[in-house]
Amino acid sequence: MKKIGSKIMQIIPFVFFLLSIILIVEIVVSLRQDKTPTIFGYGMFLVVSRSMEDKIMTGDLIFIDTKADEFFEGDIITFRQPGAEENIITHEIVDVKTIDGEIKYTTKGYNNYTSLDWEKDFDEEYIIGKYVSRSGFLGDIYRLVFTGGLNFVYAIVILVFMMIAIFEITNIAKEVSLHKQQQLLDEKNKLVEIELEKLRRQTENKTENKED
């Protein structure tokens, strides 16, 4: 077990290094092409308004599945505001309809009385992705990094390292737990085999006694 843990600890730094290079290249290319930076198909955005509270809080860092290609009423999506594409909005879909063969979406923030004019019947081309989850803690880190004057790329890389570290620690913990469970299962199986062997011998002895 110690050998396995030692090997894992030796490999992790190289995995982090390789992933950091891939992610930095992906982020830089996305920014230069004016695209949303993604990490393994997921985008990250900082929430700056109260329109979706209490589901999504101001200051949360939200994670968006940019690979999603189907959107239904009740889904929370992140999209570019039609007519002002530099604005990124995260609202709930409240209506989906087909107009002239094209699917149109209407959204609304939880705390908004009604849908705003620009979020009524807009095309799917404005949608960035579907909301997956949020983190207030990572949102605090995100704002702290920007307040310190670091540029966007480095801020994203720091968050990526934190996410990878959390995922790796979780996976390692799961592997250790599974290994322990397997050990317990093996021990139980051995005990069962021992008991079965005892029963078999007792049965044989009884049979022999009867024959005598």
CATH of range 37-149; options 3.90.1010.10, 3.40.50.11740, 3.30.465.10, 2.10.109.10: 2.10.109.10
Would you give the end-to-end CA distance of the chain in angstroms? 53
Q: Where are the domains of the chain?
A: 1-35+151-212, 37-149
Token pair belonging to 102? 């094209």
> How many residues are given for the chain?
212
**Lowest mean per-residue pLDDT among 36-45, 58-67, 99-108, 164-173:** 164-173
- Give the per-residue pLDDT at 199: 76
* Residue 86 pLDDT grade (very low, low, confident, very high; cuts 50, 70, 90): confident
CA separation, residue 156 to residues 47, 90, 167, 203 (Å):
15, 20, 16, 69
Least confident piece of the model among 3-7, 131-135, 177-181 = 3-7
Looking at residue 117, the DSSP 8-state letter turns out to be G
CA–CA gap between residue 122 and residue 106 (Å, rounded): 7
Q: In terms of pTM, does the model score above 0.75?
A: no
**Cα–Cα nearest to 4, from 167, 163, 178:** 178
Cβ atoms of residues 24 and 158 within 8 Å:
no
For the four alpha carbons of 118, 122, 128 and 132, in that order, the dihedral sign comes to positive
Task: Give per-residue pLDDT as tens, 26-65.
Answer: 655 554 555 566 666 788 888 888 999 989 999 888 889 9
Instruction: With cut-offs at 50, 70 and 90, classify the pLDDT of residue 114.
Output: very high
With left for phi above 0 and alpha for psi between -120 and 50, is residue 118 left, alpha or beta? Answer: alpha
Instruction: Read off the pLDDT of residues 194-210 as tens digits, 9 standing for 90 and up.
Output: 777 777 777 766 665 55
Residue whose tokens read 């009385």: 113
Give the pLDDT score at 154: 56
Q: What is the pLDDT of residue 95?
A: 95
Nearest to 67 by CA among 90, 42, 85, 91: 42
How much is the pLDDT for 201? 76
DSSP 19: H
Omega cis (within 30) before 123 = no
Highest mean pLDDT among 30-39, 68-77, 180-189: 68-77
More confident residue, 146 or 202: 202
